[in-house]
Structure 1
Amino acid sequence: MRNKPPSLTESQYFLLAALLDGPLHGYGIIKATEQATDGRLRLAVGTLYGALDRLERARLVEADHEEIVDGRARRYYRLTNDGAAALQIEARRLQQAANVVIGRTRTAEA
């Protein structure tokens, strides 16, 4: 990665995580984020495409390919190397933050 990766919102984090297994189209990303969060995070279409646009400008995702389904173009997006690195950095940051609270909770229970 060229510079320090941008901070990710929760929506961006789960959007990038949805692409770990390979390219997905918009509806596939929405369903994958919903499933990964047990329905807690439901991306609206406008939110999704706004986030994809920002992530594409940051070079964290890129268009992979398009196909025509029922006469409509369906664009698939994939994670870039920078996107995968940013996701790993954010996952470690979240894990460290959680460990602080979990450690204090265990100490308080003892």
Structure 2
Amino acid sequence: MPYHGGPMTEAMYYVLLALIRPNHGYQLMQAITDVSKGRLQMGPGTLYGVLSRMQKDGLICLEDSDGRRKTYRITAEGEVALRMEYARLKSVIEDSEMLEEGDK
């Protein structure tokens, strides 16, 4: 069943963001930690569950496999979904600006 938009989990969002450059599992865990500035650290169980689901949804694909190491990359559909989620998150922040107004 393809992904049809709607809010993504934080894990999905960061996996897609980290897969702008193709990566394999261990590198991907490190890239997620780096891109989230250490805020999100994903373990192998969570990561491989998310990767499996996103592959079924057509958001990522297997680029290479040497039997032991699998390298994944974001698909065109995945990039569209990532950009849609980015726009949604920006709107959420913009809609919440009244919180900052109260601090002034």
TM-score by length of 2: 0.89
Q: Which amino acid aligns with 2:58?
A: R
Q: Within 5 A, what are the aligned runs for 1:82-101? A: 82-101=77-96
Q: 1:54 to 1:3 in 2, by over 3 A?
A: closer
Offset of 1:100 from its aligned partner?
Answer: 1.4
Q: Which amino acid aligns with 2:7?
A: S
Find the counterpart in structure 2 of residue 58 from structure 1: 57
Q: Which amino acid aligns with 1:32?
A: A
Indicate the percent of aligned positions where both proteins have the same amino acid.
31
Q: Counterpart of 1:8 in 2: which secondary structure?
A: coil
Q: Name structure 1 gaps, 5 residues minimum.
A: none
Measure, in 2, the Cα distance between the counterparts of 1:50 and 1:3. Answer: 16
Corresponding pairs, count: 103
TM-score by length of 1: 0.85
Find the counterpart in structure 2 of residue 107 from structure 1: 101
Offset of 1:38 from its aligned partner?
Answer: 1.7
Find the counterpart in structure 2 of residue 17 from structure 1: 17
Q: Which amino acid aligns with 1:36?
A: V
Q: Name structure 2 gaps, 5 residues minimum.
A: none
Q: 1:105 to 1:15 in 2, by over 3 A?
A: same
Find the counterpart in structure 2 of residue 37 from structure 1: 36
Instruction: Point out 4+ residue stretches in structure 1 off by more than 4 angstroms.
Output: none
Q: Which amino acid aligns with 2:101?
A: T
Offset of 1:37 from its aligned partner?
Answer: 1.3
